[in-house]
Amino acid sequence: MMIPIANPKASYLACKELIDDAVFRVLESGWYVLGKEVSDFERSFAQWCGCSHAVGVANGTDAVEIALRSVGVHEGDCVVTVSNTANATVSAIERIGAVPVFVDVREDTYTMDPGSLSEALMMRGAKAVVPVHLYGHPADMPAICSIAHGAGAAVVEDCAQAHGATICGRKVGTFGDAAAFSFYPTKNLGAIGDGGAVVSSDNAVADRVMLLRQYGWRKRYESESKGVNSRLDEIQAAILSVKLKSLALMNGRRRQIAEFYNREFSKLPIELPLTGPGCEHVYHQYTLLCDRRDDVVAHLKLAGVGTGILYPVPIHKQPAYIDDFSDVILPVTESLADRIVSIPVYPELTDDEVHRVVHAVKSFFVKT
């Protein structure tokens, strides 16, 4: 049987009874959009993150877009981000009519390089910066915020892959002016469908997010500003409230698996994921760097182990964007794309399955 790279069904089955009760409660209430379940989850998630406000939205892409709009990004503004991220990050920038500016990443954590950011801000200026906490590891937020705010740019954290990751004990999502989370089913905190949230400790930013997510309404049917329809529904909120209670435990299991991998793979000719000083990794992905990546993927498939490549083509090299960014050169980002591969690390993996993954990876290098 194939061990998948992620298993949302297993995540559901792990707390099936509680989730079923939560869904039934919503169905019985007859209130399906922006009701008590959403309010309760928003309050709990804000408290869990360590910030003042959380506002549920329809998905993670909307969360990035609405967060950017809430900090004052408009059509034509430059927004600095990275190219080794999900297309959603850049799609959200472009939906505003803003212009993405790509900077390179660090060789050790694969997250935004503060030095590259500083150069970009000196050359281009920007209204906002969107660092991505990639694979569950935090970007260098103290440095990024210092550089961005010093240049007059707001910071919106993309936390879609890093629910619960910390820097010196402080959770990601609490460093910037606002932060965007995704609750796509495969995330560390995943719904049974789409969902997202914007978090902030800035009252004015949170107020704008509340307006933007529902047509700009403060009073029903009367738009105070031009907003959108991006609402987290009651069923997803109820499910997320159940799963939030065990998120710290599930992240701990991810770290346990990752630490086992690190020990077992320490003598192989591959680069293992690094955890930076003072950081706590939550291993949304366990990502290796290796030569002959495609051969490794094929070998693991034959051994019944799923893999993922996040991301095989940097955004500035993709067909939809390459003409607009033909002059962009990002050496570290481009070198990573040819060597990265992720292996299963989700918390519902059994010990036997973890050992199967280890055996499959080791057998490639012994064989060759």
CATH number at residue 222: 3.40.640.10
Per-residue pLDDT reduced to its tens digit, 46-81: 999 999 999 999 999 999 999 999 999 999 999 999
Domain range for 263 is 247-367
In a domain, 360, yes or no: yes
**Among 225, 244, 263, which residue terminates a domain?**
244
Number of Cβ within a 10 Å radius of residue 202: 18
The DSSP secondary-structure symbol of 229 reads B
Q: Percent of the chain having pLDDT more than 70?
A: 99
Nearest to 103 by CA among 91, 95, 111: 111
Crossing angle (nearest 10°) for helices 16-29 and 36-49: 140
| pLDDT at residue 207, as a whole number | 97
Please tell me the pTM assigned to this model: 0.97
DSSP string, 43-101: HHHHHHHTSSEEEEES-HHHHHHHHHHHTT--TT-EEEEESSS-HHHHHHHHHHT-EEE
Contact yes or no for 23/238 (Cβ under 8 A)? yes
Same domain, 236 and 278: no
**Among 195, 228, 244, which residue terminates a domain?**
244
Q: Percent of the chain having pLDDT more than 90?
A: 98
Angle at 238 (CA atoms; ends 4, 191), nearest 5 degrees: 20
Tally of domains within the chain: 2
Region 209-229 average pLDDT: 94
In a domain, 1, yes or no: no
The answer to whether residue 124 scores a pLDDT higher than 80 is: yes
Same domain, 277 and 190: no
Same domain, 197 and 300: no
Per-residue pLDDT reduced to its tens digit, 236-258: 999 999 999 999 999 999 999 99
CA end-to-end distance (rounded Å), the chain: 24
In a domain, 3, yes or no: no
Q: For residue 247, what are the contacts with CB-CB under 8 A and spacing of at least 6?
A: 48, 163, 164, 188, 189
Contact yes or no for 218/83 (Cβ under 8 A)? no
CA distances from 113 to 99, 106, 129, 279, 293 (A): 19, 5, 12, 16, 25
Predicted confidence band of residue 125 (pLDDT cuts 50, 70, 90): confident
**Among 202, 218, 244, which residue terminates a domain?**
244
| pLDDT at residue 368, as a whole number | 53
Same domain, 330 and 362: yes
Same domain, 336 and 357: yes
For position 280, which CATH number holds? 3.90.1150.10
Crossing angle (nearest 10°) for helices 351-367 and 293-302: 130
Same domain, 254 and 240: no
| pLDDT at residue 186, as a whole number | 97
| pLDDT at residue 1, as a whole number | 86
Per-residue pLDDT reduced to its tens digit, 308-345: 999 999 999 999 999 999 999 999 999 999 999 999 99
As a whole number, the mean pLDDT across the chain is 97
Contact yes or no for 121/147 (Cβ under 8 A)? yes
In a domain, 125, yes or no: yes
Same domain, 197 and 313: no
The answer to whether residue 355 scores a pLDDT higher than 70 is: yes
